[in-house]
Structure 1
Amino acid sequence: MASFSGFRDRNRQRSIASQLEGALLISSGIFPYFVLVALEAGGLLRASALLLFYPIFWLLNLTHHRTAALHAIIFISTFGIKIQNIKAVAKATLPKFFLEDLRESAFKVFSGCGGKRYVLTCLPRIMAEPFLREYLDVDCVIGTELKAIGRMCSGLVVPTGADRADMGWFQALKAAREDDQLIDVGLAARSNDHSFLLLCKEHYLISPQEDASPLARRDYPKPFIFHDGRLVTRPDPLRLLVVLLWLPFGVFLATTRIVIGIVLPYKLILMFTALNGFRIRVQHLETKQQPDPQSGVGSVTNKGTLYVCNHQTLLDPVVLATGILRRVSAVTYSLSNFSEVISPLPTVRLTRDRLKDRAIIQSMLEHGDLVVCPEGTTCREPYLLRFSPLFAEIAEKIVPVAVRARSSMFYGTTARGFKWLDSPFFLMNPCPWYELTFHEPVAGRPDSNELCYDIANGIQAQLGQTLGFECTNLTRRDKYRMLAGHDGIDPRN
């Protein structure tokens, strides 16, 4: 068998068969992916049970009972969960963690073979297939098949043999071939059984430490824009234990931060948030006209200032108000009743009816300053969604604000989960971080609708340049259709 480092692509039309864990992926561990399914589709108690039984899985693997360990972890993480929910997690949550663990050298070899592509994995096929087909253009995924009872997962495995990384993979790959010809290239982890390589002309083995550099974001096979799930980092056993131990402290910390935001004046909020680990950084780009702290922009007018910012979390308007040390109002497309109750700012829900929304924004500007996020939804990755031009038709004074938020443990946004927990989850992070960059005021209310689009696109480009984000034409509807299977319309509107 040849060394993996000696591979040279001589024919881009060659077929390839590769192992997923330990070959295409740097890590050979599959536990974190089952944790994500258990947590996102089954809940916190199921993820905790998975961690509780981890020593048993480890002992079974240590004593070479890998198939028994796999069946046990599958049962605990999937029993009683709807198949549809597992597929949703596989599509919306798992690709982020697969991409972050994708081995750069193996990906270059894999993508360099333009023939038929096969991937073999111990993971259930429905967990790995969405990522492999969408990002790696895999033709055939060979993995463990889950047994379903109606629309529910039984936690059991269909006895196809694909759950065994020995002769089971050999038989499954042999049956998956369209003809009796050997596959041109085979990639496998050196530490695992690699019987399936007998069906390949050239064999390349990857040791755990060999070429263990992850693929850079700029080299991803396609832009990675939307994903879901609460956990920021890969939940290996130690990190999952830290998260579970942190939860009681996180709940207390989030409650404290919410109370501080509601009770204290803005000048004291900045000081107390810094003391409890919440960092807020505010900077103003050089302006031709210094803003008046009472009216927002230097020109005299009876209307309030419209602050236009990209959308990071539900806390964007609250943090902005703290940064400028005065009360503002906010409009939103969807906000839970709980979020409205704990919000220290007045909020109004838009209806997605252009005439009604126009009247709402005009009315709120008559009474003071207003914050609007024209993207209509959040985006976790360094991309900006399309800006709705409605704000440019109404406001005379527009202040673009570039917003950047960071968290280390929990995401404060979700498309499929409980949206009323978005703000608490962000505030549960040990040291959440916000940065606001205020730009020069821009004049609104042009003479034509075309100029409104130009203003919206110009502000989007301006904020994108400041943040280093890429501008897109994607919308809220695109995000929710991909992550949740619906248009993201709040039924209360």
Structure 2
Amino acid sequence: MCTKIRSHCLPLYIHTMSPPCRGASVQVQPHAMAKTKLFPALFSLLLHGGAATLPPPRVPAVTVHGCTPPAARLSAGGEKTVTMVVDVEGALLRSSSSRSLFPYFMLVAVEAGSFLRGLLLLLLYPVISLLAGAGGGDVAVRAMAAVAFCGLRESRFRAGRTVLPRWLLDDVGKEAVDAIVTLTRRRSSPAATATVVWASSMPRVMVEPFLREYMAAAEGGGEVVVAAREMKVVWGFYTGVMEDGGEVAAASPEVRRAMEGVDDVVGFSGGSMDLLRSPLVSFCKEVYVVSHEEKSKWRPLPRRREYPRPLVFHDGRLAFLPTPLAAAAMLVWLPFGAALAATRLAVALALPYRHATLLLAATGQSWRLRGSPPPTPTPPPRRATGERRRGQLYVCNHRTLIDPVYVSIALDRPVRAVSYSLSRVSDLLSPIGATVRLARDRAHDGAAMARLLEAGAHVVVCPEGTTCREPYLLRFSPLFAELADGVVPVALAAEAAAFHGTTAGGWKSMDALCYLANPRMCYTVEFLPAVDASPVREGKAASTELANAVQRRVAEALGYESTMLTRKDKYLMLAGNDGVVRRRGDVGAK
């Protein structure tokens, strides 16, 4: 059967045939498509001007199947070179409409811009929804990109690498990844290769880091080819205007190289006919289009266990995906959240812990205690020499900057916290007093903590050196193992409903206030059995061995995974620096 449709103002003949798999053949109504193009075309003319573009050349006939590429088709011909063109929005993500891309542009608007920019994008959503419903998906994407990007500095834009991958991975369909893995691992000879060309309607800066760093693992570590449009830049700032049409992306040198000399090119799309209207379809012999009904049955990737690459670090303040309804609720909540944060802070500073925790729990700020805290020692009498009993060292994993506060609440006694860096605002607002600052000098830092312990203080140290949101533990610095005869490991878990209390590239002075502005949050504190560190002090064991043993104990208690990643690894990825504070003030890393 042959169906004639209109694509880029030229006729395109697509043969639909019954595939050897479930799914109906694709049917396209040319008259309905032509009717839905009028309003989006007028809006695009107003948004981007009347510059005309030359139509692409006529493309050959393509066979279209209405199902997911079957494993037998992908694994056949292991000696051939194959290229698969994957529509990111249609075939990789479980949500495929232009309206479903709104949360990702909202993340860019809020995380790279401001809440005011997010409000402007939300007010534009009715128009975006109308455009997408009228068949102008590309115009809707352009409108969202204009609001989200206009005026942002190109050199400072990192949301595509630090924020979006965490949410895009949640939207990836397991069936799509399985199909890609089947294709790329089917080779029966070294000469056979399988390349994936990722086609996206979103700007390149939004999807390329995610595809290169996470989906490359699904390809077996091969070359990543991305066919997406660039955002135009003037004087180092994004103008908010995307490149016109998909011809530029399809004609890029890397796409041409991926298509040259291959034996077979297969297209993979779904939900919409966007890939069939793209110039990339001219390279394909067959295109598999997954129906909405079939995509609705797709499963998400189980977190951690089946991600193509582990997601250890990510940034951004929002702890939820900002769909239109969720974004509206967030913006309505902001003034109430600011007032609630100020109230919670005043209660924590003014009242004793045992009274403050009851009032704070009534506002949604709760905590749980697991395990028994160490017994409270009797006040040590002064010895004849005037010496005091040494204090206790508590070793915690690091979730937010208020970890020591909850350890102090659970112990119901004052503690002293040590930190490599802390903003002045956070230090002033601390209910446990001033934080002892470390200098990343082993001798200096060891002496500072030793003085606190000699004075009988209960010292809380986070040897990871920085926070980690995901269920992983970074490498524990072994310095703590050399300071006391015994250490008490403490496992901490933090939950937040709306805002993260940590950031690598944002204003760190707002960390505590952002956490307190959550409508609901909960801390879990678990004290583990004390670990004998005397062999390290006596030179019978290495401090690194003890540090690794404590890390494993905390990881087992939380159900996390231990890693050898460090603070430097985190900041190189999220902020483009090594995380070392080189000047005074609030600019720093934690």
User: What TM-score bracket applies, with the shorter chain setting the length?
Assistant: over 0.9
Q: Indicate how the Cα distance of structure 1 residues 318 and 248 shifts in structure 2: closer, same or farther if over 3 A, else same.
A: same
**1:202 aligned residue:** 286
Report how far residue 30 of structure 1 moved. Answer: 1.5
Deviates more, 1:455-464 or 1:261-270: 261-270
TM score, norm. by length of structure 1:
0.92
Q: Indicate how the Cα distance of structure 1 residues 5 and 76 shifts in structure 2: closer, same or farther if over 3 A, else same.
A: closer
Q: How does 1:395-410 map to 2 (within 5 A)?
A: 395-410=484-499
Q: Are 2:225 and 2:255, in contact at CA under 8 Å, matched by a contact in 1?
A: no
Report how far residue 375 of structure 1 moved. Answer: 0.3
Report how far residue 334 of structure 1 moved. Answer: 1.1
Q: 1:453 aligns with which of 541, 544, 556?
A: 544
Task: Provide the rounded CA distance (Å) in 2 between the counterparts of 1:30 and 1:439.
Answer: 44
Task: Provide the rounded CA distance (Å) in 2 between the counterparts of 1:283 and 1:295.
Answer: 26
Task: Provide the rounded CA distance (Å) in 2 between the counterparts of 1:376 and 1:295.
Answer: 32
Report how far residue 256 of structure 1 moved. Answer: 1.4
Q: Are 1:118 and 1:141, in contact at CA under 8 Å, matched by a contact in 2?
A: yes
Q: Indicate how the Cα distance of structure 1 residues 375 and 177 shifts in structure 2: closer, same or farther if over 3 A, else same.
A: closer
1:381 aligns with 2:470: yes
Deviates more, 1:27-36 or 1:198-207: 198-207
Report how far residue 263 of structure 1 moved. Answer: 1.1
Post-superposition Cα deviations, 1:37-82, rounded to whole Å, max 9, x if no partner, equal 1111111111111111111111222222333322222111111111
Task: Provide the rounded CA distance (Å) in 2 between the counterparts of 1:207 and 1:242.
Answer: 32
Match of 1:144, SS state, is: coil
1:96 aligns with 2:166: yes
Q: Indicate how the Cα distance of structure 1 residues 139 and 492 shifts in structure 2: closer, same or farther if over 3 A, else same.
A: closer
1:19 aligns with 2:87: yes
TM score, norm. by length of structure 2:
0.78
Match of 2:228, SS state, is: strand
Deviates more, 1:231-240 or 1:479-488: 231-240
Task: Provide the rounded CA distance (Å) in 2 between the counterparts of 1:294 and 1:251.
Answer: 42
Cα RMSD (Å) of the superposition?
A: 2.2
Match of 1:116, SS state, is: strand
**2:37 aligned residue:** none
**1:10 aligned residue:** 75
Q: Are 2:197 and 2:258, in contact at CA under 8 Å, matched by a contact in 1?
A: no
Letter in 2 for 1:199: F
Task: Provide the rounded CA distance (Å) in 1 between the counterparts of 2:111 and 2:458.
Answer: 38
Letter in 1 for 2:215: L
Q: Are 2:311 and 2:470, in contact at CA under 8 Å, matched by a contact in 1?
A: yes
Q: How does 1:57-76 map to 2 (within 5 A)?
A: 57-76=128-147
Task: Provide the rounded CA distance (Å) in 2 between the counterparts of 1:304 and 1:281.
Answer: 25
Letter in 2 for 1:154: T
**1:106 aligned residue:** 176
Post-superposition Cα deviations, 1:372-411, rounded to whole Å, max 9, x if no partner, equal 0000000000100010111110123311100011111111
**1:192 aligned residue:** 273
1:352 aligns with 2:440: yes
Q: List 4+ stretches of structure 1 deviating above 3 A.
A: 11-14, 167-178, 180-184, 293-296
Q: 2:352 aligns with which of 249, 265, 287?
A: 265
Deviates more, 1:94-103 or 1:364-373: 364-373
Task: Provide the rounded CA distance (Å) in 2 between the counterparts of 1:371 and 1:41.
Answer: 34
Identical aligned residues as a percent: 40
Q: Are 1:174 and 1:199, in contact at CA under 8 Å, matched by a contact in 2?
A: no
**1:468 aligned residue:** 559
Q: Are 1:111 and 1:136, in contact at CA under 8 Å, matched by a contact in 2?
A: no
Letter in 2 for 1:471: S
Q: Are 1:231 and 1:410, in contact at CA under 8 Å, matched by a contact in 2?
A: yes
**1:145 aligned residue:** 230
Match of 1:105, SS state, is: helix
- Structure 1: any 5+ residue segments left out of the alignment? none
Deviates more, 1:264-273 or 1:4-13: 4-13
Report how far residue 95 of structure 1 moved. Answer: 0.5
Q: Are 1:119 and 1:141, in contact at CA under 8 Å, matched by a contact in 2?
A: yes
**1:122 aligned residue:** 201
**1:488 aligned residue:** 579
Letter in 1 for 2:211: L
Q: Are 2:82 and 2:262, in contact at CA under 8 Å, matched by a contact in 1?
A: no
Deviates more, 1:309-318 or 1:53-62: 53-62
Task: Provide the rounded CA distance (Å) in 2 between the counterparts of 1:227 and 1:83.
Answer: 20
Q: Are 1:295 and 1:305, in contact at CA under 8 Å, matched by a contact in 2?
A: no
- Structure 2: any 5+ residue segments left out of the alignment? 1-63, 185-193, 217-222, 381-386, 585-590
Post-superposition Cα deviations, 1:18-44, rounded to whole Å, max 9, x if no partner, equal 101131001122111111111111111
1:390 aligns with 2:479: yes
Task: Provide the rounded CA distance (Å) in 1 between the counterparts of 2:524 and 2:390.
Answer: 27
Task: Provide the rounded CA distance (Å) in 2 between the counterparts of 1:197 and 1:449.
Answer: 68
Task: Provide the rounded CA distance (Å) in 2 between the counterparts of 1:462 and 1:203.
Answer: 51
Count of residue pairs brought into register by the alignment: 481
Task: Provide the rounded CA distance (Å) in 2 between the counterparts of 1:170 and 1:372.
Answer: 53
Match of 1:80, SS state, is: coil
